[in-house]
Structure formats: C-alpha cells, structure tokens
Amino acid sequence: MSQRIAALVVFTCLSSSVLQAQQYFRQPWDQYSNAHESRVESCANPIPTDLIDLDDFRFQQSGTLDGIIFWGKVLDSAQIESAHGYYVAIYDDNGACGPGALLHSECITPASQFAFMDCTGDSVYRFVSPLTGGFQVTGGENYWLQVSEIDDESANVGVDDFLWSNRLPLRMCPAAQMDSSGNLFQPLFDICSWQQVDFSFILRAS
C-alpha cells in the first residue's frame, strides 16, 4: 500500500471514529472565521516561540481523552504535503476564566484534509489524530486546550506555517493567547468579524 493511500485510510478511520462516536465536546470551525498563530520551539521544549493559543472546554461525563480534530490555516502547502508535528496540552482552569497549571501534554502527527476557504480566501484544513496519553477528564470541570505547531518539525523553521482557526459564536470563556513569559492576552478578536472568538476543535473521551 502506498504511503499516500495508507495516510488516506488512517485519516478516514480516525475521522469516522471521532466524528461518529459520542461527542463529549464539539466546537467545529464555522467555515468563515480567520485564525491565530500558535507555535512552540519543540516537542521536548514546548516554549512559545512567540504566542500559543488556548481555549476552554468541559465534558459532561468523566472519561479518557482519546481523539482530537482541529481546524487550521496552513501558510505553506509543504506543511500538509508531508507529516508534521503538533503539540497538544491540557491545563486546569485558574478559576477566573483562564488557564492554570499544566496537567498533560503529548505530541501528535495528525492526518489532514482540506476543509474550506476562510473569510480571507485562504485554505483551511481539518486535522485528525488519536490522543494516546491516557489523560483522564472529570465531568463538569473546566479545562484548557492548547494546540500548537512544533517549530523544529515544521515545513519552515522560524516562521509560522500553521494558524489555529477561530470560530463563532463564543462559547464559555473567550479564547486566549500566552507568550513565553506567561503573559495572557484575552479576549481575542477575529479580523473579519471583529467579534470575540473561540478556537475550532472537537475532543472525544471514552
């Protein structure tokens, strides 16, 4: 089986399992909104190169995270023509609608597929990956999700190749960005609608 066909089979299987199984938290892209940068230095040293993106989520039931879908703008087609790494992290909530302590992280290499054009005419892709770290979420508790491009595994080291897609309408706490000094920037606004935004993702727990 060729690498291209194998990747398509993996993507189809993952998409089916994540999308058709029970959805505990669903915040898909709205097929319009723009995006924000989110990039870390490396998997082993996930310090923000400039800014990272974070958004909150809450499960109704307890379970183990085992799948993620997220949407993002790709600034160089080489970023999706071959596999590149992304950093996924989970934080607790600080009690004031912001991220607290880091609880879990893992590095993934998702499959990707073209989704649609955003409000600026740029291509947005849907990324799909299993989560294998075994992180346990507690139903009813707020958490924060980070999804970031891994710079030293990206198509062009030192520049943004990926932007995490915004989405409307706002749900729960507004999304945020954080720099390498821990400064939090919140809320964030979409450059097309100028409304406060969240980020686009689906998480599954079982």
- For residue 8, give the H/E element and its range: helix 3-20
Per residue in 112-155, pLDDT tens? Answer: 999 999 999 999 999 999 999 999 999 999 999 999 999 998 98
| pLDDT at residue 1 is higher than 60 | no
**Antiparallel, parallel or unpaired: β 136-137 and 123-130:** unpaired
Per residue in 68-90, pLDDT tens? Answer: 999 999 988 888 877 889 999 99
Q: Positive or negative CA dihedral for 96, 101, 103, 108?
A: positive
Domain count, the chain: 1
What's the pLDDT band for 11 if we cut at 50, 70, 90? Answer: very low
* 5 vs 190, more confident: 190
- In DSSP notation, 139-202 reads TT-EEEEEEEEEGGGSSSTTS--EEEEEESS--SSPPEEEETT--EE-S-B-TTT--B-EE-EE
- Region of 24 on the Ramachandran plot (φ > 0 left; ψ -120 to 50 alpha; else beta): alpha
Q: Containing domain of residue 143, as a range?
A: 3-205
What's the pLDDT band for 16 if we cut at 50, 70, 90? Answer: very low
Burial class of 104 by CB neighbour count within 10 A (0 to 12, 13 to 18, 19+): middle
